[in-house]
Amino acid sequence: MGIFTGLIMETGRVKRIDRRADGALLVIEAKTVLDGTKIGDSISINGVDLTVIEMSDGWFSSDASLETLNRSTLGGLRAGDRVNLERALAVGERLGGHMVQGHVDGTAEFLNDRLEGNAHRMRFRLPLNLAHYVAMKGSITIDGISLTVAALGSDWFEVVIIPHTWRETTLSTLKSGSRVNIEVDVLAKYVERLLSHDEAAAVRRRQSELTVEELIEQGY
């Protein structure tokens, strides 16, 4: 498993997808992310952490499981599609975005964008099972890109895209209804887990504090 920052190094292009009963083999044309990369290393493809199993000058290939294809947008890729690429973070490198695992939590629907000065404000519809993980001014990953939540509703959120990100990623190619991969901030998931564990523990404590009178009332 690699750790990423959500800062896209380049956009590659799908060279070929070999679909199988147990998943698919993705062959991606790339250049920058291959510098210093070796077999077994991790590369994020549209926010999905995949392992390099073969590579040569100008391309690499990775296996994607059925789970990955079903949970992300990778299953819908076609030859010629552009994809966002990031090489896994090396020890000692600067963490410019936020901590991204490359574990996609689900997909969101692109709704619209509007110009705001020289930037684009983009709105996405978020699945309800992920909405409670998203916070105003918190971090979110869209197709592997580390972004900050600029506005938030019950089932939607907005991000503001600066010109550099607009030019250097696939966000500018999205059309209304396009699906994107979403990874919520891992800290939010850990907080939820801790709180649910504490709540369950509190219930167990209350159950163990029954008085003699309560036991008698319940027929014991």
The residue-averaged pLDDT of 130-145 equals 95
Does residue 3 belong to any structural domain of this protein?
no
Does residue 100 belong to any structural domain of this protein?
no
d(CA 69, CA 170): 19
Determine contact, residues 144/4, Cβ cutoff 8 Å: yes
Range of the domain at 174: 110-185
For residue 92, what pLDDT is reported? 63
Q: Which of 157, 156, 173, 176 is nearest to 165 (CA)?
A: 173
Give me 60's structure tokens.
């690499």
Residue 210 pLDDT exceeds 80: no
For residue 188, what pLDDT is reported? 78
38 shares a domain with 72: yes
CATH number for the domain spanning 14: value is 2.40.30.20
Give the confidence band of 191 by pLDDT, cuts at 50, 70, 90: confident
Residue 211 pLDDT exceeds 90: no
121 burial type by CB count under 10 A (0-12 exposed, 13-18 middle, 19+ buried): middle
Residue 213 pLDDT exceeds 90: no
Task: Indicate the number of domains in the chain.
Answer: 3
Question: What tens digit of pLDDT does each residue of 28-44 get?
Answer: 999 999 999 999 999 99
79 shares a domain with 23: yes
156 shares a domain with 208: no
The residue-averaged pLDDT of 87-97 equals 75
Does residue 104 belong to any structural domain of this protein?
no
Give the confidence band of 2 by pLDDT, cuts at 50, 70, 90: confident
66 shares a domain with 48: yes
Does residue 101 belong to any structural domain of this protein?
no
d(CA 64, CA 72): 10
The full 3-state SS of 2-42, as one line of letters, equals CCECCCCCEEEEEEEEEEECCEEEEEEECCHHHCCCCCCCE
Secondary-structure breakdown of the chain: helix, strand, coil percentages, each rounded to the nearest 5: 25, 40, 35
Give the confidence band of 97 by pLDDT, cuts at 50, 70, 90: confident
Residue 168 pLDDT exceeds 60: yes
80 shares a domain with 28: yes
Helix (H, G, I), strand (E, B) or coil at 207: helix
Give the confidence band of 189 by pLDDT, cuts at 50, 70, 90: confident
Q: Indicate whether this model's pTM tops 0.75.
A: yes
Determine contact, residues 98/149, Cβ cutoff 8 Å: no
159 shares a domain with 116: yes
Mean residue pLDDT across the chain: 90
Give me 207's structure tokens.
């159950």
Determine contact, residues 11/170, Cβ cutoff 8 Å: yes
Give the confidence band of 99 by pLDDT, cuts at 50, 70, 90: confident
Backbone dihedral angles phi then psi of residue 66, each to the nearest 5 degrees:
-60, -40
Give me 129's structure tokens.
């099972």
For residue 11, what pLDDT is reported? 98
210 shares a domain with 160: no
131 shares a domain with 73: no
Does residue 53 belong to any structural domain of this protein?
yes
